[in-house]
Structure 1
Amino acid sequence: MDNNKMYQVSTLQALALGYSRAVITVEDLLKEGDTGLGTFEDVNGEMILMDGHCYRADQYGNITIVPPGTGVPFAAVAKSYGEQQFPLKSMPDFNSIKTELNLKIEERFGLNSMHIVKIDGEFEKVDARSEAPYRSHHVTLKEVLSMNQEAFIFENIRGSLVGVYFPDYMDGINMPGWHLHFLSEDRTKGGHVFDVSIKEGLAKVDKITNIYINLPKDPAFDTYTLKQDLQKEIKSIE
């Protein structure tokens, strides 16, 4: 099971409602997977977990290696083996990439399981974002991003997309569909991906059939109303 497990910290719905306190550390997260994404305590930038290293994209899209003791309120990670690999060429936007990924996993795996993907390649454009930290709770992620988010565009750049796929029935636990973060080949630029166009790349996909969710232990977590329908709000920020 451990080699075929999505390890998730908290839920996306809790993060969307403003729960951004640390649940575990980066050091502990790296024991559970080598590939994935998330954020840091107080929504302090975007997390890119790749090849067993944890990177932070700050509000300007600049990348740093994250200290092991850094707190993590939300993440989804797994171990990547590149179970299925296929080329991607001339993909003009995020929608075309999602369509191609869905076709491939439906053909080879099925769409009712979780998946992780890493796409190495040359990108014509990456439209991305990150954010500065916001030290308050019960302030929704949408409100935080409206104040602290910065958007940026990287053009004609080599790098990697790291992403996770969750099926529709897991809405609230995570976002249904594909969620991608970007890291440049020289490890200097990155962020959460809004849109992206690929000149050419290689996708490596793994099917995940188990999930472990590490929920927050402190009493504050139980003050959030997690039965709310936040699908539209989550889609608007993700």
Structure 2
Amino acid sequence: MDFSGLEAKLDQIAPNQNIFCAFKIKADFDSMKTRSVPAQKKPYPPLSQVTKNQPEFNYKNVSGIIVGFRCPPYVKGINVPGYHLHFISDDFTKGGHILDFKIKSGKCEIDLCDKFFLILPKDVTDFENVDLSKDRSEELMDVER
């Protein structure tokens, strides 16, 4: 099963697109492709700029855990709607934000979340000087995959 196959299966198991869905998948993978964005310093560049130079990793025949969320469409602007997945290998030496994979076999645990908490920064000086009015949803969707 690949990324889109997993999305379809999870959508079938948890069809309500209006609630958050958290999941954990323990699996053996034929392949796993991840990325890891290097640490950034202030002033923070846009994610679309940072990911142009991101290291990508391709693993073959690896076992590990996928953790992820499916966020509802109405959180656009606060979070990324749709699926967001991360991987860590069983030996904790490989991982990152998932770009693609092929699962040999695995087990999935799902939690349907009926609560969403948003915590804003306490340091209002930095927060009040950030321009959050720009719609970055298109560039965010580009870097997610």
Is 2:83 the counterpart of 1:184?
Answer: no
The percent of aligned pairs where both chains have the same amino acid is 35
The structure-2 alpha-carbon separation of the partners of 1:138 and 1:129, relative to structure 1 and needing over 3 Å to count, comes to closer
Distance 2:112 2:133 in 1: 28
- Give runs of aligned pairs for residues 74-113 of structure 1, distance below 5 A: 91=1, 93-106=2-15, 110-113=16-19
1:196 to 101, 104, 108: 101
Match of 1:123 in 2: 29
Alignment partner of 2:127 out of 212, 216, 221: 221
Q: Residues 15-30 of structure 1 correspond to what in structure 2 (within 5 A)? A: none
The CA distance in 2 between the partners of 1:201 and 1:160, in whole Å, is 9
User: In structure 1, how many angstroms separate the alpha carbons of the residues matched to 2:84 and 2:104?
Assistant: 20
Per-residue deviation, 1:138? 4.4
1:6-21 correspondence runs (5 A): none
Aligned length: 143
Deviation at 1:186? 1.4
Displacement of 1:102 in angstroms is 0.9
Q: Counterparts of 2:38 and 2:44 in 1: how far apart (Å)?
A: 17
Residue 228 of structure 1: CA displacement?
Answer: 2.1
AA of the residue aligned to 1:102:
D
TM-score (norm 1): 0.58
Task: Give the superposition deviation at 1:183.
Answer: 0.6
Q: Where in structure 2 are there 5+ consecutive unaligned residues? A: none
Which residue number corresponds to residue 115 of structure 2? Answer: 210
Q: Aligned residue for 1:151? A: 56
- Measured against aligned partners, the alpha-carbon deviations of 1:68-107 in whole angstroms (never above 9, x if no partner) come to xxxxxxxxxxxxxxxxxxxxxxx0x21111111111101x
Q: CA RMSD in A?
A: 1.2
What is the letter of the counterpart of residue 213 of structure 1?
L
Measured in 2, the distance between the counterparts of 1:181 and 1:207 equals 18
Instruction: Give the alignment's TM-score, normalised by structure 2.
Output: 0.93
Shift of residue 136, structure 1, vs aligned partner? 2.2
